[in-house]
Amino acid sequence: MKILDLAIKDLSQILRDKKVLLFLVAMPIVFTLFMGFAYNAGESGDENADTRLGLAYVDPQPDSRLSQMLFARLEESDALKVIRLEQAEALDSLRRGEVVGVLVIPSGFGEQDAGGTFRQLTLIAESNSSDGQSLYQLLRVPISQLMSAVEIASISADVQGSPAEFAPALELAWAKWDETSRLERVRLERATARVEESWFGDNPYNQASPGILVQFAIMSLVTSAQILVNERKTRTMQRLMTTAMRPWEMVAGHLLAMFGLVFLQTALLVVFAQFVLGVNYLNEPLGTLLVSVAMCLWVAAMGLLIGVLAKSDDQVVLFSLVSMFLFSALGGTWFPLEASGGAFAAIGRLMPSAWAMTGYQNILIRGLDLSAAWLPTTILLAYAFGFFLLALWRFRKMEL
């Protein structure tokens, strides 16, 4: 009962300040919308909009057969919108964002059909953008096939001992490549446990929502962990110690308050994401609840440790922000760990934040059932227990 009283006191003290709502609810919602929008940039919108990647085609010798073959193939692509331009004009278009890249055909490229020397094609594009990389991938296949046709034609000309044989062999080989390139020989399939209409795995908020959920749960410690520091500063804690309340009850009371606050925030964000953004947390309600409770317990236990370690409000803010940065980045809440380096991903996967993300993604993206929530939940609970023991140890030392 005393534990509950202390928790209610903490919660009323925190929630009395209406500005807290800005950090607890408004900011995470705005961030979720913003990040979801950012992830979704360029993917959503008008279905009839032209989503092809713009490519400026610069060729000083547009009449060469090789160039014509390549241009015709690129023009046929559903993914590309190809425009012939002069180099200066093309680079201007690139700067203005009208095209994603500029393909520069070198002078003498067409002479390869007469056994000329190697000429390298250059794609000028933002190499660190997904559009730039996609464009490079889209060009690599037809260019490889064109070069293959050139080589086949050379072999054919050599075999027949006639340079005149090159041109018809090139046409034939290119026609065969044209046929082959229309065949779908590799099929990509996403493994999802649920394939019915309830699967929302391609919702761009599936990464943003759980990521912000975990990040702002940690950030909420800025407000809740300050209670412990204030109690020490105002000597309320010392007064509490003179009462019949035991130290573990005090720790448990504060932990319960922090848990309550983080859980309230998480629940609000889950409801918002479910009903406003279509993030399907209710795909497995019990699984979502288990992961959320375990995640909130871990965050609360960490908040308790921060509250015990910090000596001032500023330190609480600093420790909470550092924890938020570390656990958010390493746990894959800002970007998928798949995209990071080996050591980073290996360390990241051990983080409790990564397990929280895995727990949510099992439900949201993989469409798995309750059984997929047990392992992340258990690991998060183990982290919560570890942080709680550390906080308790520091609290007892502080008592002395």
Partner 1 sequence: MKIIDIALNDLLRSFRSAFTIGMAVVAPLMLTGLIYFAFGGLSGGDVSMNAMKVGVVNADALPADSPLDAPIGDNIRAMFFDESVESWIEARDYPDEAAARAAVNAQEIGVAVIVPADLSASLLSDEIDAQVTIISDPTLTIAPAVVQDMVTMMLDGVSGGGIAIQTIMERQQANGIQPDPAQIPGWVTRYTDWYREFQRDLFHRPEKAALVLTAPSAGETESADPIQQMMGLTMAGQMIFFAFFTGAYAMMSILREDEEGTLARLFTTPTERANILAGKFLAVVLTVTLQGIVLMTAGHYAFGIAWGQPASVALAALGQVLAASGLGVLLISFVKTSKQGGPVLGGGLTALGMLGGLFTANIPGGMPAAFQMLANFTPQGWVLKGWKLSLAGAVPADLLLPFAVALALGVAMFAFGAVMFKKRYS
Which residues 137-196 are close enough to bind partner 1 by CB under 8 A?
A: 137, 139-141, 143-145, 147-149, 151-153, 155-156, 159-160, 165, 168-169, 172-173, 176-177, 180, 183-193
Which of the stretches 96-104, 208-216, 246-254, 385-393 binds partner 1 when contact is defined by CB under 8 A?
A: 96-104
What is the x/- site pattern for partner 1, positions 6-35, by CB under 8 A?
-------------x--xx--xx--xx--x-
Taking the C-alpha atoms of 162, 165, 170 and 172 in order, what is their torsion angle to the nearest 10 degrees? -140
Nearer to partner 1, 327 or 388 (CB): 327
Beta bridge partners of 28: none
Q: Is 333:212 a contact under the CB 8 Å cutoff? A: yes
Say how far apart CA 233 and CA 327 lie, in whole Å: 29
For partner 1, the closer of residues 318 and 390 by Cβ is 318
In whole angstroms, the minimum distance from the beta carbon of 5 to partner 1 comes to 27
Please, what is the minimum distance in Å from the beta carbon of residue 17 to partner 1? 9
User: Cβ 170 to partner 1, closest distance in Å?
Assistant: 9
Yes or no: say if 237 and 247 are a contact pair by the CB < 8 Å rule.
no
Angle between helices 226-233 and 313-330 (to 10 degrees): 160
Residue (254 or 366) nearer to partner 1, CB: 366
The region of 71-79, 95-103, 245-253, 297-305 touching partner 1 under the rule CB under 8 A is 95-103
Closest of 310, 312, 344 to residue 326, by C-alpha:
344
* List of residues 6+ apart from 224 with CB closer than 8 A: 10, 14, 257, 258, 261, 262, 300, 303, 307
Judged by CB under 8 A, which of 13, 61, 77, 315 binds partner 1?
315
Separation of alpha carbons 203 and 206, rounded Å: 6
Integer Cα distance of 255 and 259 in angstroms: 6
Contacts of 371 (CB under 8 A, 6+ apart): none
Is residue 101 within 8 A of residue 82, CB to CB? The reply is no
Pick 171 or 249: Cβ nearer partner 1: 171
Least separation in angstroms between residue 81's CB and partner 1 is: 15
- Within residues 201-220, the interface with partner 1 by CB under 8 A covers 201
Smallest gap from Cβ 234 to partner 1, in A, equals 15
234 forms part of the interface with partner 1 (CB under 8 A): no
* Residue with Cβ nearer partner 1 (26 or 72): 26
Please report how close the Cβ of residue 356 comes to partner 1 at its closest, in angstroms: 14
Question: Site residues for partner 1, window 355-374 (CB under 8 A)?
Answer: 358, 361, 365-366, 368
Give the total of residues touching partner 1 (CB under 8 A): 98
Least distance in angstroms from the C-beta of 105 to partner 1: 11
> Please, which residues have CB within 8 angstroms of residue 75's CB and are 6 or more apart in sequence?
82
- How many C-beta atoms lie closer than 10 Å to residue 159's C-beta? 10
CB of residue 280 to partner 1, shortest distance in Å? 13
Nearer to partner 1 by Cβ, of 141 and 398: the residue is 141
390-394 long-range contacts (CB < 8 A, ≥24 apart) are 390/305, 391/251, 391/255, 391/301, 391/304, 391/305, 391/307, 391/308, 392/248, 392/251, 394/305, 394/308, 394/309
Q: How far is the CB of 241 from partner 1 (least distance, A)?
A: 28
